[in-house]
């Protein structure tokens, strides 16, 4: 039932979470305005153009597309302009010892490749993927789809199924130690350890329950939106506008206005805007620090250990590379050291693993004919004032040397266009503290309980969504956070 006709809602921030919450609020009958500080929408999910090369600026792996489609369904619209397809090949792997293979999406082909190339027992691989599915279907769905502040989350058939299978969930050992028990080849262990980085965590610390993440890629699938990742942002923006949402870009929110236990509106350089419901879809520490002026609460959340950030080079490459695919990983030879440097020393690893994404492999318009658009990313610690200029220069040298050796040509000689983002610029571009890609890390078994809830305990009509609050970072979780926040709006406002 639409009970809120005429009530005004304001959303701060037009990242995917902000756009999704605006669409959901319209479906509940609200008149919605979004205020976005950048002159473009999308936040982390935006794009960069360098001459004739186009790059998705942030996310490159698209999982759980039904969460985008759901926004069309609830709005009574058809997602005719948002198309995507499932990838047949998930990733190409390059190991330092010369082992290379393409990981197929099809389960039997995948098991065959892993057993032929890495010598793993096919039955063990099946068991691993089945456990991954089980973890996702039980604890994953409990923690990701529901609010952790409700007693009902912990007393329902799904929760009881989880309690009855505690040993299978992997709550009490690290992902790396579980992978070591399951696989004999250290390369297979490294491959599956990498899934911890999908939410910016350390495989040697994060609990083995994160072994659910491969299920997203293998069980549900990896997808590619027609036109590139930017189409997710553009489609949601188009849908929001069609539904009558007013999107004000280039307008930073300076503060949240409050009276008693209510948030009454926002202050911008264009004046004060009042509302009945306020949703903050920006970093939660930033909301407390700059918008509410609550320094101690801001500090509480900014002190929580952050996920990795990244250095990303966007290179227009003046040739093609048949040995690469859409997603490519060039692994380091010492994964424990790499993560010790990222999370322990909080510096750039001497030998970082490199992720190379080339969207022009799927979307030929992203690069001129005969050329490729390279998104070259290495994990970095969140910004704490490290000497980034020096670290950038050293890491760029390493990356060029490594990719040149792996691909058999001098990469630098083919760079026709270049720009770079690092933890500092990621922080200014999106307002995310430390430039962390996924908010807080999940290295601690109780990390999920430390994330901010999707509502304010102080202001009855203030709600939170986005990658820094429950259930966490990444496009699917940011979209889920918008759903949970608007469920609270329905309940509380
Ligand atoms: C390099 C990189 C790679 C990634 N890879 C993947 C991937 O492959 N797959 C995946 O699922 N996820 C990936 N992620 C994570 C994913 O992008 C994020 O979790 C998700 O986009 C977060 O969306 P959000 O809406 O919560 O926040 P954001 O995108 O950060 O949006 C917040 C918005 O708020 C705006 N804002 C901030 N302050 C104000 C203010 N005062 N007033 C008004 N507006 C304000 C910002 O400008 C921004 O537009 C990646 C992220 C990065 C950066």
Instruction: List the residue whose alpha carbon is closest to atom 37 of ligand 1.
Output: 431
**What pLDDT does residue 1 have?**
36
pLDDT at residue 136 greater than cutoff 60: yes
Q: What is the pLDDT of residue 2?
A: 45
Q: How confident is the model at residue 147 (pLDDT cuts 50, 70, 90)?
A: confident
Tokens 């005429």 correspond to what residue?
6
Q: Is the peptide bond before 471 cis (omega within 30 degrees of 0)?
A: yes
Count of CB atoms situated within 10 Å of the CB of 338:
23
Asked if the model's pLDDT at residue 296 lies above 70, the reply is yes
Q: Which residue has the tokens 């597309």?
A: 65
Task: Tell me which of 15, 291, 293 to substitute to probe ligand 1's pocket, judged by most ligand atoms within 8 Å of the beta carbon.
Answer: 15
- Residue 413 CB neighbours (<10 A): 10
Task: State the distance from the centre of ligand 1 to the C-alpha of 447, rounded, in angstroms.
Answer: 20
The H-or-E segment that residue 313 falls in is strand 309-317
Q: Do 81 and 72 meet the contact criterion of CB atoms below 8 Å apart? A: no
Q: Does the pLDDT of residue 233 top 80, yes or no? A: yes
For residue 155, pLDDT over 80 is answered with: no
Q: Which of 291, 255, 295 is nearest to 271 (CA)?
A: 255
Instruction: Say if ligand 1 is within 6 A of residue 282 CB.
Output: yes
Residue 43 Cα to ligand 1 midpoint, Å, equals 5
Across residues 218-246, what is the average pLDDT?
97
- C-alpha of residue 370 to centroid of ligand 1, in Å: 32
Longest dimension (CA), the chain: 66
What per-residue confidence (pLDDT) applies to 261? 96
DSSP string, 21-59: HHHHHHHTT-EEEEEESSSSSBTTS-EEEETTEEEESS-
Burial degree of 89 (CB within 10 A; 0-12, 13-18, 19+): middle
Q: DSSP labels for 233-266?
A: HHHHHHHHHHTT-EEEET--EEEEEEETTEEEEE
In this structure, what is the dihedral angle of CA atoms 365, 367, 368, 371, given to the nearest 10 degrees?
Answer: -140
**Is the entire prediction scored with pTM above 0.75?**
yes
For residue 163, pLDDT over 80 is answered with no
Q: Is the pLDDT of residue 251 over 70?
A: yes
Say if residue 356 is exposed, middle or buried (CB neighbours under 10 Å; 0-12, 13-18, 19+): buried
**Domains by residue range for the chain, with CATH:** 109-219 (1.10.405)
CA distance 164 to 231: 42
Whether the CB-CB separation of 251 and 266 falls below 8 Å is answered with: no
17 lines ligand 1 (CB under 6 A): yes
Residue 227 has pLDDT above 60, yes or no: yes
The residue to which tokens 């959340």 are assigned: 301
With a 6 Å cutoff on the Cβ, whether 349 touches ligand 1 is no
Please say whether the beta carbons of 183 and 456 come within 8 A.
Answer: no
| CA atoms of 309 and 381, how far apart (whole Å) | 5
Is 303's pLDDT higher than 90? no
Residue nearest to atom 41 of ligand 1 (CA): 253
Ligand 1 site, residue 253, Cβ cutoff 6 A: yes
Supply the pLDDT for residue 483.
97
Which residue is associated with the tokens 């610690």?
381
By three-state DSSP, how is residue 379 classified? strand
DSSP letters of 409-439? Answer: S-GGGGEEEEEEE-HHHHHHHH--GGG-SSS
Neighbours of 171 (CB within 10 A): 15
pLDDT of 3 over the 60 cut: no
Whether residue 281 is predicted with pLDDT greater than 90 in this model: the reply is: yes
101's enclosing H/E stretch is: strand 100-104
């Amino acid at each position: 039932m639409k009970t809120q006709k005429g009530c005004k809602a304001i959303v701060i921030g037009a990242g995917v979470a902000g756009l999704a919450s605006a669409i959901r609020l319209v479906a509940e009958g609200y008149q919605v305005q979004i205020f976005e500080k950048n002159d473009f929408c999308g936040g982390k999910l935006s794009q960069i153009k360098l001459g004739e090369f186009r790059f998705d600026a942030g996310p490159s792996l698209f999982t759980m597309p039904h969460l985008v489609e759901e926004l069309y369904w609830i709005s009574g619209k058809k997602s005719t302009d948002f198309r995507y397809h499932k990838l047949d090949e998930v990733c190409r792997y390059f190991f330092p010892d010369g082992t290379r293979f393409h990981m197929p999406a099809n389960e039997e082909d995948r098991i065959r490749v892993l057993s032929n190339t890495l010598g793993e027992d096919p039955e063990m691989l099946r068991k691993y993927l089945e456990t991954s599915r089980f973890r996702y279907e039980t604890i994953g769905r409990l923690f990701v789809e529901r609010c952790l502040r409700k007693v009902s989350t912990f007393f329902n058939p799904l929760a009881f199924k989880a309690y009855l299978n505690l040993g299978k969930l992997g709550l009490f050992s690290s992902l790396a130690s579980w992978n070591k028990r399951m696989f004999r080849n250290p390369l297979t262990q490294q491959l599956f350890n990498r899934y911890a980085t999908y939410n910016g965590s350390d495989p040697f610390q994060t609990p083995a329950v994160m072994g659910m993440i491969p299920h997203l890629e293998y069980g549900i699938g990896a997808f590619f939106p027609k036109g590139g990742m930017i189409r997710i942002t553009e489609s949601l923006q188009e849908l929001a506008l069609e539904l009558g949402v007013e999107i004000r870009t280039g307008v930073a929110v300076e503060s949240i206005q409050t009276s008693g236990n209510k948030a009454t509106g926002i202050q911008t350089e264009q004046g004060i805007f009042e509302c009945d419901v306020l949703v903050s879809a920006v970093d939660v520490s930033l909301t407390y620090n700059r918008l509410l002026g609550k320094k101690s609460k801001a500090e509480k959340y900014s002190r929580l250990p952050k996920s990795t950030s990244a250095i990303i080079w966007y290179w227009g490459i003046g040739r093609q590379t048949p040995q690469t695919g859409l997603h490519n990983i060039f692994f380091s030879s010492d994964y424990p050291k790499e993560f010790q440097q990222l999370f322990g020393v909080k510096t750039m690893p001497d030998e970082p693993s490199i992720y190379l994404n080339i969207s022009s492999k799927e979307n030929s318009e992203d690069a001129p004919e005969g050329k490729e658009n390279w998104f070259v990313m290495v994990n970095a610690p969140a910004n704490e004032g490290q000497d980034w200029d020096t670290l950038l220069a050293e890491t760029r040298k390493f990356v060029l040397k490594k990719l040149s050796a792996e691909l058999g040509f001098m990469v630098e000689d083919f760079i026709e266009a270049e720009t770079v983002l690092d933890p500092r610029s990621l922080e200014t571009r999106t307002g995310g503290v430390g430039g962390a890609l996924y908010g807080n890390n999940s290295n601690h078994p109780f990390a999920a309980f430390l994330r901010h809830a999707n509502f304010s305990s102080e202001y009855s009509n203030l709600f939170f969504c986005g990658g820094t609050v429950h259930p966490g970072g990444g496009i699917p979780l940011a979209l889920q956070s918008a759903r949970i926040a608007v469920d609270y709006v329905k309940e509380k406002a």
